[in-house]
Structure 1
């Protein structure tokens, strides 16, 4: 333990920074799919192909075999834009592989998953866009980032408003005066009468 600590201390600062670099852990890339998918136009499902690898006899494939027997046809009818392949593999654990429009692939092991878990994983693949494992790079860069934080409905509001119990009578009196439009017109009329007489 002490040798490892001595070795870590003897490292220069630059190598310590590179030791904790996230570039080696998760690769980075720019977004290659549309973020406004379905807004202002028709929705395009990003999942294009689903490959289910399953063994006909292996016990870890029981839930996957049950999902294939009971729910595969209904899933295929509901989502005709997804091509589904069932690939038999002898004495190996089951997997599901999703291929997306962006060219990315997702691989999920389904060992010892029951039917509901298999259904959950397949619908999870269906609702993704294919690249959650990448660190997404922003299209812009600044040397002086903002420190004000995320906007909330209470940003730039008085602090005492967060502690009030709503509906608050004081706030409604300020924002919604009790004088009606009819009363305001009558008051203006009376002022006009006074101006004409003087």
Structure 2
């Protein structure tokens, strides 16, 4: 039994609801943008090495062998900054391993993947920065979340705005209050004058 399950079982019932720590399962972090990549000069691809482990005979490697025969040379020409290794392994499932500038490695099993799926995985590794999978944390927390969702400018507007044809004469005219602020001040002034005279 894992340490995580032991921690949950040992907790009393009332504290399980407030138990948030899932760090033993997946690490968590806040969303952050890395503006250093290519700032001021040029884009630097974070993927540095791509290793394709493939069997020459195994049935699950058919799509990988097809991708190597047809697409590998084009990929290498388009992305000369990525070093590509093809590593034969007898009677083992194919794998795709990406190594990044940060030192992280991503390992993807390619069993029974066709050529198009492998192309998708290769380009997925190419466009990542090598961070492992994180659970993203929000910057704010509430115990009673709203069911109406995030506020937008159309939250409390009538639904017929979607079906109208524009330009619409009703929307062009400005909506003025019944009485302007100037008129209200003038009316208060007149009331004060009549109160003083009486």
Partner of 1:173: 172
Higher helix share: 1
* Residue deviations 1:100-119 (CA, integer Å, cap 9, x gap): 22322211111111111111
Q: Where in structure 1 are there 5+ consecutive unaligned residues?
A: 1-7, 176-198
Contact 1:61 1:93 in 2 (8 A): yes
* Residue deviations 1:5-64 (CA, integer Å, cap 9, x gap): xxx7x943235654x643222112467872574576522222111110001111111110
2:13 is equivalent to residue 12 of structure 1: yes
Question: Structure 1's 142 and 83: CA in aligned 2 closer, same or farther, altered over 3 A?
Answer: same
Q: Where in structure 2 are there 5+ consecutive unaligned residues?
A: 1-8, 175-198
What is the CA RMSD across the aligned residues, in angstroms? Answer: 3.6
Q: So what's the TM-score if we normalise by structure 1? A: 0.65
Greater alpha carbon shift after TM alignment, 158-167 vs 105-114:
158-167
SS at match of 2:71: helix
* Residue deviations 1:114-161 (CA, integer Å, cap 9, x gap): 1111111111111222225112457x66889x9795464536x74456
* Residue deviations 1:55-114 (CA, integer Å, cap 9, x gap): 111111111011111111110010111111111111100000111223222111111111
Greater alpha carbon shift after TM alignment, 59-68 vs 122-131:
122-131
Greater alpha carbon shift after TM alignment, 37-46 vs 105-114:
37-46
Partner of 1:113: 113
Contact 2:52 2:96 in 1 (8 A): yes
Question: Structure 1's 131 and 29: CA in aligned 2 closer, same or farther, altered over 3 A?
Answer: same
Q: So what's the TM-score if we normalise by structure 2? A: 0.65
